[in-house]
């Protein structure tokens, strides 16, 4: 095991799920890995992966100061048999239409609008991506802050 694998193995694992794994879950994966880097390792996947990461999701990450690295749209089946400390679904429509994952210790549902559905000019679409990314970031920061607060209280 190399040092990167050892660092990842000692962290809590979160899987972020949506349908296409091209926008919301990709942005959440990058943000969670950077914001929770000392304690968490995030992955993302979709029940029907789009096969690409939306260019505006990548642009949004760049514009909000997150390094996106090598992102790829992944299928939930790539994680079959794995266990995660937390699974977060980010579909904005009915919870029932989001994928589920059997290897989860805890599941949260954080519905966000799908920025890929935005219409208008590229500039108008980017504004929607930036708003959704901001909401995702706020939710992750609040969750990680709550955990930190819980740890301090005990």
Phi and psi at 138, nearest 5°, equal: -60, -45
For residues 37-52, b (16+ Cβ closer than 10 Å) or e, as one string?
eeebbbbbbbbebbee
The residues annotated with a catalytic role in the active site are 18, 91, 98
Burial status of residue 102 (CB atoms within 10 A of its CB: 0-12, 13-18, 19 or more):
exposed
The pTM for the full model equals 0.88
68 three-state secondary structure: coil
Tokens of 114: 């799908």
**Tens digits of residue pLDDT in 29-77:** 999 999 998 899 999 999 899 999 999 999 999 999 998 788 999 999 9
Burial status of residue 21 (CB atoms within 10 A of its CB: 0-12, 13-18, 19 or more):
buried
Question: Domain spans of the chain?
Answer: 3-153
- 108 vs 115: CA distance, rounded Å: 20
**Neighbour tally for 139: CB within 10 Å:** 17
Mean of pLDDT values over 23-28: 96
**Tens digits of residue pLDDT in 79-122:** 988 999 999 999 865 456 666 777 789 999 999 999 999 999 99
CATH 3.40.50.670 fits 3-153, yes or no: no
């Amino acid at each position: 095991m190399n040092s990167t694998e050892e660092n990842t193995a000692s962290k809590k694992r979160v899987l972020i799920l949506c349908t296409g794994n091209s926008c919301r879950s990709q942005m959440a994966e990058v943000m969670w890995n950077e914001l929770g880097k000392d304690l968490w390792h995030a992955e993302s996947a979709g029940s029907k992966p789009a096969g690409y990461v939306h260019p505006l999701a990548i642009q949004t990450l760049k514009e909000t100061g997150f390094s996106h690295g090598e992102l790829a749209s992944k299928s939930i089946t790539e994680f079959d048999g794995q266990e995660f400390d937390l699974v977060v679904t980010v579909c904005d429509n009915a919870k029932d239409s989001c994928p589920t994952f059997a290897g989860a210790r805890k599941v949260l549902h954080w519905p966000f609008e799908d920025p890929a559905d935005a219409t208008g000019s590229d500039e108008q679409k980017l504004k929607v991506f930036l708003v959704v990314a901001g909401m995702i970031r706020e939710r992750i920061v609040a969750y990680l802050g709550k955990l930190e607060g819980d740890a301090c209280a005990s």
